[in-house]
Structure 1
Amino acid sequence: MIRFGTGGWRAIIGDEFTRANVRLLAQGLADRMHDEGVAERGIVISYDRRFLSDVAAWWAIEVLAGNGIPVRVITRPVPTPMCMWTVKQQEAPYGLAVTASHNPALYNGIKLFTAGGRDATLEVTDELGERIAPLTEADVKALAPHEARSSELVTEQSSINWYLDAIMEQLDLETIRHAHLHVVLDPMFGVAQTSMQTILISARCQVDVINARHDPLFGGRMPSPAEGSLAPLRQAVLEQGADLGIATDGDADRLGIIDDTGEYLSPNQVLVLLYEYLLSTKGWSGPVVRNMSTTHLLDRVAAAHGQECHEVPVGFKWISAKMAETGAIIGGESSGGLTVAGHIPGKDGIQAGSLLVEMVAASGKKLSQIYQDIVDRYGRLEMVEAAYAYTPARREELQQRIFVEHELPSFDRDIARISWEDGAKVYFADDSWLTIRFSGTEPVIRVFAEAPTLEEAQQLASAVADHFDLGES
């Protein structure tokens, strides 16, 4: 019942996300740590503001401490990137964050990190899943709740200052201070407010915050900073005449941006902006890494600067691994996560949002004008995304037709090549492309398409939906 996807284990609360399953997962991890000989080096645990997150963190702690493993628990809801940073800073072999990130409110889950603060690789999560599968409650060794709370094995940490200082040390705070920027922050009822607000106020920005209260239902919306969820942020930016709006998802590892005109900047656009900023203004040099469903505009930026853009499968673990291999200075994905070299090998919405503010301050221009400069130099590519739910029987059919028999619809443009490395990706001769793959975190099949115009991208995606009768997204 515990299956790890591209973003860890996520399940519906009360269905598969239960006390029993959290304890089984913790026991499997404890067994792995003992077998690897790293148990005495301990583990870092954090949690977000979802229903049961804090409670579930202690369910795991009771088991890990019951197996003699030292635990450092961050005893307040914090951004998941802080857990990753703490794993790296403490030189711990593992970290564990109780979160379902941007999933709907009825989900919770666990993200697993390995040494250096990296997302656990597929090999690690596959092996852990195999360990957990035969376990029963009788195999679980756990302290009683009151014993765990008082155990010498458990270190409670409430400060977030080390993490915030690490981000601020990388920023040009002096430049931001003299730009007098007005920023609206939308943490989407998640965990970003304290961290993001502290950084921006330290940089003398005027900061207004919306959707900040603790609401495990996330205001009735998905805690995902996609365009359709950011109408309140757009309204606040326009009403207050702010320079930009920053939204972060439920656990603050992803972000979405509203510019000074109220326009939504997609994660693809943010990635392009920041890569160009690092190369042109900050004087950095190095390649970029993107996943297979992220804009090819990054390829154009890289080529213009004599650099290379590396493509990897979906899952941030692949991005961080390729960055380490190639010395890339930035890496990211179209779903909103990115990381910059020198911080953590994982996505961090707090760092990315802060760096974007620095970019605006350093340019002396409005954010809308900065992106127009990108379009004038590199052209425009438009992307569409669709997600289609399926029944178990339908999944089996689609798996057979698309990914076994390699059936695809007919397209009105020449195909350069097709990759089946991670789902299906069709590369067209005119620099357009299309991907089809099953989500690793939700029961949906996702279709991405990018082309020179929005109409062309929509036509590519619609060809897939019509051919396989996928219904409404």
Structure 2
Amino acid sequence: MIKFGTGGWRALIGEDFTKENVQTLSQAVADLLKARHCAERGFVIGYDRRFLSDKAARWIAEVLAGNGIPVFFIDKVAPTPLIMFTVKKLETGFGAAVTASHNPADYNGVKIFTDGGRDATETVTDEIESFIAALDPKAVSRIDFESGLQNGLIRPIDPFNEYIDTILGMIDTEAIKNRKLKVILDPMFGVSKTCLQTILLTARCEVEVINDRHDTLFGGRLPSPSTHTLQRLRDMVVERHYDIGIGTDGDADRLGIIDEKGDFIHPNNILALLYYYLLKFKGWKGGVVRNLATTHLLDRIAAGFGETCFEVPVGFKHISSMMEAQNALIGGESSGGLTIRGHIRGKDGVFAASLLIELLSVTQKSLSELLEEIHQQFGYFYMVENDCRFKPQDKERLQKLLFEDKALPDFGYAIARRSYADGVKVYFENGGWVIARFSGTEPLLRIFAEMDNEAAAQAVGETMKTFLTV
């Protein structure tokens, strides 16, 4: 089974992520490009450090080349945002990253990108799935990788310099040079080191890097930056007096931040910091786009500057589409992914980290000082997550409960309205909210709750979880 979720196709290695399935997916993509009459524009392929990523990237290239489609093959491990940038730069229309992002080490997958370097929409992935359903596996056309190189259909490229120079051109490097920041970077055994370290050193930061070796098991941790997985980074920031600690996930499209006190800065607050900085200190104009599981602090900041906050379903493709439609300044999500107007139309942890370094340099304030300044103006918001894992046979019961019966527990707060745009989201009259939605990549219900104090958020989230597990 090849089914796309919010973050592409992801599957267990050796179970569904197999050579045959990767080749089948590749043939379906080739068929789609031909059907859309854009095959001649070519296709960008890149890969991360996961087990089989390099080989799977070659499998994809062999099938596309076998279908006469030019392949621009990034010939070393690359961050996902760099691959998206290359799709945009080369105007290929389509591209792919072999990655399972922040999933456990025994997963791998493929993310598909479309025109302008954005995540494929559901329309595109549905088309790919329909081509897969109609495909005879014996009909896969391919040539071996070396033959593709020789006939020019597979073209090795190295877009690193252009990507790095583009980011350097978008940030205030002179301000950063004058601040002389001490930065510690944790790539989490992923692919951000080369790009991010080069940017930081060019801007004259003092940089130390940990967890940068090639380890397909990610050091035994989930390659997702969080308060638990970045414990070593937290300790080192405090012990060695760094101004900031930066962690990036396996494919470097998301980040986690440790402030100068060793506190983990929730991705919600990273978004708030950057939006506030762009509006107040850089004087830029524009709204903000967030998904419906991301903090409403952004709504308050937007309103405070006469701007608008736009809410969309989960999936960065929805964020990038709304940003384009509304000419929004910034868009992001509570899982740590964001981008700004004028950059790629997808998440970029390398660029986001670079912009945070600029923020520290221009404001001459620490992260904790800036965050407190924001909370003093716009209030405090506390979010908790209480995921509910379920067995496959329970999914139908849960769907009926939530979306047919539309049943809800008594939260103890007056309800202003409900939304079923993506899962079920309950908006309380006091400004708080709770949401339960099915994960697009794992068998679980994601439950988020946000209130003006942590105890209330915990209670609301636990009430929803208890209700669903009865």
Asked if 1:135 corresponds to 2:135, the answer is yes
Q: Classify the secondary structure of the residue corresponding to 1:246.
A: strand
Q: Classify the secondary structure of the residue corresponding to 2:60.
A: helix
The residue number in structure 1 matching 2:450 is 450
| Residue-by-residue CA offset, 1:369-394 (whole Å, 9 max, x unaligned) | 11111111111000001222211111
Q: C-alpha distance in 1, partners of 2:388/2:224?
A: 17
Q: Report the AA paired with residue 221 of structure 1.
A: R
Q: C-alpha distance in 1, partners of 2:195/2:381?
A: 33
Asked if 1:117 corresponds to 2:113, the answer is no
The residue number in structure 2 matching 1:166 is 166
Alignment of 1:43-58 (within 5 A): 43-58=43-58
The residue number in structure 2 matching 1:330 is 330
**Unaligned 5+ residue runs, structure 1?**
none
Q: C-alpha distance in 1, partners of 2:183/2:438?
A: 36
| Residue-by-residue CA offset, 1:415-451 (whole Å, 9 max, x unaligned) | 0000001100000000000110000112211000000
Q: Report the AA paired with residue 253 of structure 2.
A: D
Shift of 1:230: 0.8
Q: Classify the secondary structure of the residue corresponding to 2:387.
A: strand
Q: C-alpha distance in 2, partners of 1:16/1:361?
A: 47
| Residue-by-residue CA offset, 1:46-97 (whole Å, 9 max, x unaligned) | 0000000000000000000000000001011111001110000001110100
Asked if 1:187 corresponds to 2:177, the answer is no
Alignment of 1:262-273 (within 5 A): 262-273=262-273
The answer to whether the Cα contact below 8 Å between 2:63 and 2:140 also exists between their aligned partners in 1 is: yes
The residue number in structure 2 matching 1:284 is 284
The answer to whether the Cα contact below 8 Å between 2:86 and 2:159 also exists between their aligned partners in 1 is: no
Asked if 1:227 corresponds to 2:227, the answer is yes
The residue number in structure 2 matching 1:103 is 103
Q: Classify the secondary structure of the residue corresponding to 2:322.
A: helix
Q: C-alpha distance in 2, partners of 1:337/1:139?
A: 38
Bigger shift: residues 441-450 or 311-320: 441-450
Q: C-alpha distance in 2, partners of 1:467/1:33?
A: 46
Q: C-alpha distance in 2, partners of 1:7/1:414?
A: 34
Q: C-alpha distance in 1, partners of 2:414/2:40?
A: 57
Q: Classify the secondary structure of the residue corresponding to 1:2.
A: coil
Q: Classify the secondary structure of the residue corresponding to 1:5.
A: coil
| Residue-by-residue CA offset, 1:271-298 (whole Å, 9 max, x unaligned) | 0000000000011000000000000000
Q: Report the AA paired with residue 31 of structure 1.
A: D
Q: C-alpha distance in 2, partners of 1:275/1:46?
A: 30
Q: Report the AA paired with residue 193 of structure 2.
A: Q
Q: Classify the secondary structure of the residue corresponding to 1:294.
A: coil
Q: C-alpha distance in 2, partners of 1:146/1:326?
A: 46
Asked if 1:64 corresponds to 2:64, the answer is yes
Q: C-alpha distance in 2, partners of 1:93/1:228?
A: 38
Asked if 1:27 corresponds to 2:27, the answer is yes
The residue number in structure 2 matching 1:364 is 364
Q: C-alpha distance in 2, partners of 1:400/1:277?
A: 44
Q: C-alpha distance in 2, partners of 1:93/1:116?
A: 7
Q: Report the AA paired with residue 169 of structure 1.
A: G
Shift of 1:159: 4.3
Q: Would you say how many aligned residue pairs link Structure 1 and Structure 2?
A: 470
Bigger shift: residues 58-67 or 372-381: 372-381
Asked if 1:205 corresponds to 2:209, the answer is no
Shift of 1:248: 0.4
The answer to whether the Cα contact below 8 Å between 2:48 and 2:98 also exists between their aligned partners in 1 is: yes
Q: C-alpha distance in 2, partners of 1:136/1:210?
A: 47
Q: Classify the secondary structure of the residue corresponding to 1:446.
A: strand
Shift of 1:407: 1.3
| Residue-by-residue CA offset, 1:93-129 (whole Å, 9 max, x unaligned) | 1010000001110100000000100110011101111
The residue number in structure 1 matching 2:84 is 84
Asked if 1:296 corresponds to 2:296, the answer is yes
Shift of 1:148: 2.8
Shift of 1:186: 0.5
The residue number in structure 1 matching 2:215 is 215
Aligned Cα RMSD in Å? Answer: 0.9
Q: Report the AA paired with residue 373 of structure 2.
A: D
Q: C-alpha distance in 1, partners of 2:119/2:59?
A: 22
The residue number in structure 2 matching 1:39 is 39
Shift of 1:134: 2.7
Q: Classify the secondary structure of the residue corresponding to 1:468.
A: helix
Q: Report the AA paired with residue 21 of structure 1.
A: N
Asked if 1:6 corresponds to 2:6, the answer is yes
Asked if 1:383 corresponds to 2:383, the answer is yes
| Residue-by-residue CA offset, 1:195-222 (whole Å, 9 max, x unaligned) | 1100000000000111111000001010
| Residue-by-residue CA offset, 1:160-209 (whole Å, 9 max, x unaligned) | 11001111100000000000100110000000001110000000000011
The residue number in structure 1 matching 2:393 is 393
Bigger shift: residues 404-413 or 302-311: 404-413
Alignment of 1:314-353 (within 5 A): 314-353=314-353
Q: Report the AA paired with residue 468 of structure 2.
A: F
Q: Classify the secondary structure of the residue corresponding to 1:155.
A: strand
Q: Report the AA paired with residue 225 of structure 1.
A: P
Q: C-alpha distance in 2, partners of 1:423/1:355?
A: 33
Q: C-alpha distance in 1, partners of 2:347/2:145?
A: 33
Q: C-alpha distance in 2, partners of 1:337/1:137?
A: 36
Bigger shift: residues 146-155 or 251-260: 146-155
Q: C-alpha distance in 2, partners of 1:390/1:171?
A: 44
Shift of 1:404: 2.1
Q: Report the AA paired with residue 431 of structure 1.
A: G
Q: Report the AA paired with residue 320 of structure 1.
A: S
| Residue-by-residue CA offset, 1:346-391 (whole Å, 9 max, x unaligned) | 1100000000010011111122111111111111000001222211
Q: C-alpha distance in 2, partners of 1:317/1:365?
A: 33
The answer to whether the Cα contact below 8 Å between 2:6 and 2:315 also exists between their aligned partners in 1 is: yes
Moved over 6 A (4+): none
TM-score when normalising by structure 2:
0.99
| Residue-by-residue CA offset, 1:282-325 (whole Å, 9 max, x unaligned) | 11000000000000000000000000000000000000000000
**Unaligned 5+ residue runs, structure 2?**
none
Q: C-alpha distance in 1, partners of 2:434/2:144?
A: 52
The answer to whether the Cα contact below 8 Å between 2:87 and 2:117 also exists between their aligned partners in 1 is: yes
Q: Classify the secondary structure of the residue corresponding to 1:169.
A: helix
Alignment of 1:242-257 (within 5 A): 242-257=242-257
The residue number in structure 2 matching 1:374 is 374
Q: C-alpha distance in 1, partners of 2:256/2:136?
A: 42
1:318 to 1:159, Cα distance in 2 relative to 1, 3 A: closer
Q: Classify the secondary structure of the residue corresponding to 1:228.
A: coil
